[in-house]
Amino acid sequence: MAAAALTSQLNALVNNMFAMGLLDDQFQQLQMLQDSTAPDFVSEVVTLFCDDGERIICELSRQLEKPNVDFDRVDSYVHQLKGSSASVGAQKVKNTCIQFREFCQQRSRDGCLKTLDLVRTEFYDLRNKFQAMLQLEQQIQACYPKH
Amino acid sequence: MAAAAQAPAAAKVVVATSPRAGGGGGGGGDRKVVPVVVAAAAGDEAQSEMHVLAVDDSSVDRAVIAKILRSSKYRVTTVESATRALELLCLGLVPNVNMIITDYWMPGMTGYELLKRVKESSQLKEIPVVIMSSENVPNRISRCLEEGAEDFLLKPVRPSDVSRLCSRIR
């Protein structure tokens, strides 16, 4: 496929992510920071976010399965996920983390489990879209001869 | 136009990696310092470059803050914990640090404790310390400023916050 077609596909994907509220303007800030000194900046940060998020979600499931849940520990993991989400502009995941922390404060295991399901769904949906985005970017780059 | 690699600026990046533990500080993490990854940056700025030590336990946040600072022509060293930062500073492994920018909440030593330790040290106290936090807690902010923090930035940090800092420091 020609670069132009791939580029419009990429733009449509990203615009849709904004329209769906998955991303907020922090993501645009990251896009603006990408320059010739760091041409892969956005994809590096997105990859760090995906790895970090996956690790935290696994850890949260493990913590909430325990017979005696340590809610402070759960809260500190949710705090980490909220931080990474805010930094990449993953608005929806970030907002769910805010709810999640309320359930931690209420020491509500049911609330935490329900919110974990929600945040997991949102995170993996976002991760799939990020991966599609990175794949398109690679395909676009491959259209141009290397310097 | 395959220009031969220009003399890279002294953009030294020391990344100390350690698996991020959920809680509990100290011990553990491997002490590996992956030294001196030379990043290409505008060569002409090398002389006037300010060196910033950025401290954050989140790999995502480290990447973002480092890029923002580099875009403002700072030279950046990132570390993943306050303990590591203090170690590097006290051993003189990151000489000529013009500013420390640290996350507030980290497992083990917090950014607030790091601030206090820096301000207590006759050797380090002149270095401006900027605290970042995702939570807008007025008490926390005033406590940091009372302890001598140069500024308090809310996360996610934006390029505009750093340009504001840039114009003030030095």
CATH number, span B49-167: 3.40.50.2300
Q: In this structure, which long-range contacts are made by residues A5-11, counting pairs with CB atoms below 8 Å and at least 24 apart in sequence?
A: A6/A136, A6/A139, A6/A140, A6/A143, A7/A140, A9/A136, A10/A133, A10/A136, A10/A137, A10/A140
Chain A within 8 Å of B75 (Cβ-Cβ)?
no
Report the candidate in B134, B110, B78, B108 with the shortest Cα–Cα distance to residue A80.
B134
CA dist., res. A62 & res. A67, Å (int): 11
Q: Is residue A86 part of a domain?
A: yes
Instruction: Enumerate the β-bridge partners of residue B38.
Output: B12
Q: Is residue A72 part of a domain?
A: yes
Q: What phi-psi label fits residue A21: left (phi over 0), alpha (psi between -120 and 50 degrees) or beta? A: left
Average pLDDT over residues A92-96: 98
Query: Hey, what amino acid is at A105?
Result: Q
Q: Is the pLDDT of residue B39 over 70?
A: no
Q: Is residue A34 part of a domain?
A: no
Average pLDDT over residues A82-104: 98
> Torsions phi, psi of B54, nearest 5?
-105, 130
Q: Is the pLDDT of residue B42 over 70?
A: no
B95 pLDDT band, cuts 50/70/90, is: confident
Chain B within 8 Å of A37 (Cβ-Cβ)?
yes
Total domain count for chain A?
Answer: 1
Q: What phi-psi label fits residue A107: left (phi over 0), alpha (psi between -120 and 50 degrees) or beta? A: left
Q: Is residue A18 part of a domain?
A: yes
Chain B within 8 Å of A58 (Cβ-Cβ)?
no
Predicted local confidence at residue B48, as pLDDT = 63
Q: Give the residue with greater pLDDT, A141 vs A127.
A: A127
B47 pLDDT band, cuts 50/70/90, is: very low
So where are chain B's domains? 49-167
Predicted local confidence at residue B40, as pLDDT = 41
Lowest mean pLDDT among A4-8, B40-44, B72-76, B118-122: B40-44
B52 pLDDT band, cuts 50/70/90, is: very high
Lowest mean pLDDT among A29-38, A117-126, B9-18, B91-100: B9-18
Q: Is residue A147 part of a domain?
A: no
Predicted local confidence at residue B166, as pLDDT = 78
Q: Report the predicted TM-score, pTM, of the whole model to 2 decimal places.
A: 0.82
Are the CB atoms for B67 and B31 separated by under 8 Å? Answer: no
- Could you give the 3-state DSSP secondary structure of residue B62? helix
CA dihedral A128, A133, A137, A138 (to 10 degrees): 10
For residue A114, the domain's CATH number is 1.20.120.160
Predicted local confidence at residue B23, as pLDDT = 39
Average pLDDT over residues A22-48: 96
Q: Is residue A123 part of a domain?
A: yes
Query: Rounded to a whole number, what is the distance in Å from the CA of A76 to chain B's nearest CA?
Result: 7
Predicted local confidence at residue A133, as pLDDT = 97
Q: What share of chain A is helix, strand, coil (3-state, %, to 5)?
A: 80, 5, 15
Report the candidate in B127, B121, B55 with the shortest Cα–Cα distance to residue B90.
B121
Strands (E), chain A: none
Q: Is residue A33 part of a domain?
A: no
Which residue is associated with the tokens 């993996």? Answer: A124
Q: Is the pLDDT of residue B17 over 70?
A: no
What are the CA-CA distances from residue B65 to residues A32, B4, B75 (Å)?
14, 30, 12
> Torsions phi, psi of B9, nearest 5?
-70, 165
Contact A86 B159 (CB under 8 A): no
Average pLDDT over residues A62-74: 97
B170 pLDDT band, cuts 50/70/90, is: low
Contact A87 B155 (CB under 8 A): yes
A144 pLDDT band, cuts 50/70/90, is: confident
pLDDT tens digits for A74-86?
999 999 999 999 9
Contacts of B134 in chain A (CB under 8 A): 79, 82-83, 86
Mean pLDDT estimate for chain B: 80
Instruction: Give residue A125's domain range.
Output: 3-23+41-142
CA dist., res. B76 & res. A67, Å (int): 44
Of B42, B63, B134, the CB nearest to A82: B134
Are the CB atoms for A105 and A78 separated by under 8 Å? Answer: no
| Element of type H or E holding B77 | strand B74-79
Q: Is the pLDDT of residue B5 over 50?
A: no
Q: Is the pLDDT of residue B128 over 70?
A: yes
ipTM over 0.90: yes
Q: Is residue A36 part of a domain?
A: no
Report the candidate in A87, A26, A81 with the shortest Cα–Cα distance to residue B62.
A87
pLDDT tens digits for B146-155?
999 999 999 9
